[in-house]
Amino acid sequence: MLTNQNFVKVFFLETHVERISNLQDIKKAELDRETGLFLYEDMTLGRRFEDKCAEMYYRGKMFGFVHLYNGQEAISTGVIGAMKKKHDWFCSTYRDHVHALSAGVPSFEVMSELFGKATGCSKGRGGSMHLFSREHHLLGGYAFIGEGIPVALGAAFSSKYQKEVAGNSNSDAVTAAFFGDGTCNNGQFFECLNMAQLWKLPIIFVVENNKWAIGMAHDRATSNPEIWRKASAFGMHGEEVDGMDVLAVRGAAQRAIERARAGEGPTQGRILSSLLYFILFFFFLMYLVSFLFPLIRFPAPSPGLSLLRNA
């Protein structure tokens, strides 16, 4: 029998598949042996790291909250892997382990942080949701969703200020702000899009759309599930990419970064001054991941409790 709930699920799935299939024409990054190995290694490191975290958490070795990134590796690798390490800046979310690894923070330091050790990248005082590394230009993970967006905006402002006011011509760093679909319903998202466009800042807003915000389905919580369309309200360029396709993500990121450094923007054109490029990426993940791996996405001390949470 097709219950109400099933109908909703079938409807969402069809919409999702349709939208993914519309993204096939997007220009992907070029692939050679070296790039392929780099992408594979980075994504594999992320997955293995998270699997080990899940294991440690379930064995009761790791305390506090642990939010995993399984299934989203292509986004971290695709975007951060296309940026300049220790030059560009990154702002993460509370799901921050793999962003930190992609940014180059040693896995030992990330894992130590999760165990609250002084050898951790935040000296053991931050834990899973507050990874930070000045050296690797990671401006933090944030337990409060959306808090990283204004911080990223500040970093982007700093790059522009350094270049145009302080006269540092080498200051062409681009900042990437990562956040989820659920976060897009928060105020900071809109406020920062407005200021970024107003001040023409070199920032990339990366929306990782896994179609869920804890137990709230994306389509039930937002006025327009196609988040990328919200960019146009600010006169900003928006692009939608399949987040399961690392080459598609990397290709889109490369275009955005290149234009940011060159000061070109699709809406503003070449007449405006430097460092003009804004892009909203909307990365889809198979939302089925949320059904198939609920225990991995939201680990709890015991599987029974976890199932209750996700019921």
Coil, strand or helix at 154: helix
Sequence-separated contacts (24+) of 103-109 with Cβ below 8 Å = 103/133, 103/136, 103/137, 103/138, 104/136, 105/131, 105/133, 105/136, 105/138, 107/45, 107/49, 109/133
What, of Mg ion, ligand TPP, none, does residue 214 touch, CB below 5 to 8 Å by kind?
ligand TPP
The sign of the dihedral angle between the CA atoms of 138, 140, 145, 151 is negative
In terms of CB distance, is 215 or 301 closer to ligand TPP?
215
Other CB atoms within a 10 A radius of the CB of residue 52 amount to 14
Q: Nearest approach, Cβ of 233 to ligand TPP (angstroms)?
A: 20
Give the interface size with Mg ion as a residue count (CB under 5 A): 6
Q: What angle do CA 252, 253, 256 make, to 5 degrees?
A: 90
Window of 50-58, 193-201, 206-214, 264-272 that interacts with ligand TPP by CB under 6 A:
206-214
Interactions with Mg ion, residue window 149-188 (CB under 5 A): 180-182
Indicate the residue among 72 and 77 with the shorter CB distance to Mg ion. Answer: 72
Whichever of 120 and 182 has its CB closer to Mg ion, that residue is: 182
- Exactly one of 141, 182, 238, 243 binds ligand TPP (CB under 6 A); which one? 182
**50: contact with ligand TPP by CB under 6 A:** no
Q: Does 92 engage in binding with ligand TPP (CB under 6 A)?
A: no
Segment contacting ligand TPP (CB under 6 A): 1-9, 21-29, 45-53, 205-213? 205-213
Which residues between 145 and 174 bind ligand TPP (CB under 6 A)? 145
Find all residues with CB under 8 Å of 291, minimum gap 6, and list them. none
Q: Give ∠ CA 33-36-39 in degrees, rounded to 5.
A: 150
Q: Which of 81, 140, 141, 180 lies at the binding interface for ligand TPP (CB under 6 A)?
A: 180
- The residue from 49, 212, 228, 282 that contacts ligand TPP (CB under 6 A) is 212
- Stated length of the chain: 311
Residue 44: phi and psi, rounded to 5, are -65, -40
Please return the burial class of 295, using the count of CB atoms within 10 Å of its CB with bins 0-12, 13-18 and 19+. middle
Task: Report the C-alpha gap between 8 and 5 in whole angstroms.
Answer: 5
* Choice between 212 and 234, CB closer to ligand TPP: 212
Told to check if 144 binds ligand TPP by CB under 6 A, we report yes
Helix (H, G, I), strand (E, B) or coil at 133: strand
The DSSP secondary-structure symbol of 276 reads: -
Q: What is the closest distance, in whole angstroms, from the C-beta atom of residue 67 to ligand TPP in the complex? A: 7
Site string for ligand TPP, 93-122 (x = CB under 6 A): --x---------------------------
CA-CA distance, 97 to 126, in Å (whole number)? Answer: 12
Comparison of 29 and 249: residue with beta carbon closer to ligand TPP:
249
Among 77, 210, 268, 274, binds Mg ion (CB under 5 A): 210
Q: Segment near ligand TPP (CB under 6 A), from 143-151, 164-172, 224-232, 247-255? A: 143-151
Distances from the Cα of 258 to the Cα of 172, 174, 176, 200, 278, angstroms: 11, 10, 13, 15, 11
- Check residue 73 for interaction with Mg ion (CB under 5 A): no
| Structure tokens given for 289 | 């991941």
User: Which residue number, 95 or 237, has a Cβ lying nearer to Mg ion?
Assistant: 95
Q: Write out the residues near ligand TPP by the rule CB under 6 A.
A: 95, 143-145, 179-183, 210, 212-214
Contacts with Mg ion by CB under 5 A lie at 180-182, 210, 212-213
